[in-house]
Amino acid sequence: MATLGQLVNRKIQAVKQDTTIREAAELMKRQRIGSLLVEKDGQYVGIVTETDIVRKAAAQGLDLKKEKVITIASSPVITLDIYRTPQDAHDLMGEVGVRHLGISDKGKVIGIVSVRDLLVFFKKQSEPRMGID
């Protein structure tokens, strides 16, 4: 049985809580990622996503060059243990309405799984494979 340990992206991308929203958006663009963990005093205190930037900042007219990511970050980070299944992650994302989960090992966040990661995993599990010419 597959576990989240097989899917998790262990390269955590994080920003300090006082990073501006604009700086966070630029980092997401450069790294081609959809979320960043928000760090305060060496702890992950939240997560900021592309959706947060659009719906909580841009749509409300916040000054992206001045406002800090902590003002729009979702907190706490929703996590799931590394030994749980991709189906567990899918179910939890649906229940709480998020697209990114922190993956933990012995209570420490060690990576992120996104809805896109799950989509790729479940697509590989399905048969028959559909080809696009």
Locate the domains of the chain by residue range. 4-125
Which residues contact residue 12 at a Cβ distance below 8 angstroms, ignoring those fewer than 6 apart? 37, 109, 110, 111, 112
Q: How far apart are the first and last CA of the chain?
A: 32
What pLDDT shows up at residue 124? 86
Using DSSP, state whether 75 is helix, strand or coil. coil
- Between CA 14 and CA 125 the distance in angstroms is 31
Q: Which two tokens stand for residue 57?
A: 């900042």
- Contact criterion met (CB below 8 Å) for 5 and 82: yes
What pLDDT shows up at residue 57? 96
Determine the residue type at 44: Y
How does pLDDT run along the chain (133 residues), one tens digit per residue? 899 999 998 999 999 999 999 999 999 999 999 999 999 999 999 999 999 999 999 999 999 999 999 999 999 999 999 999 999 999 999 999 999 999 999 999 999 999 999 999 998 887 666 666 5
- Between CA 69 and CA 57 the distance in angstroms is 9
What pLDDT shows up at residue 16? 98
Q: Top-level CATH class of 4-125? A: alpha beta
What pLDDT shows up at residue 133? 53
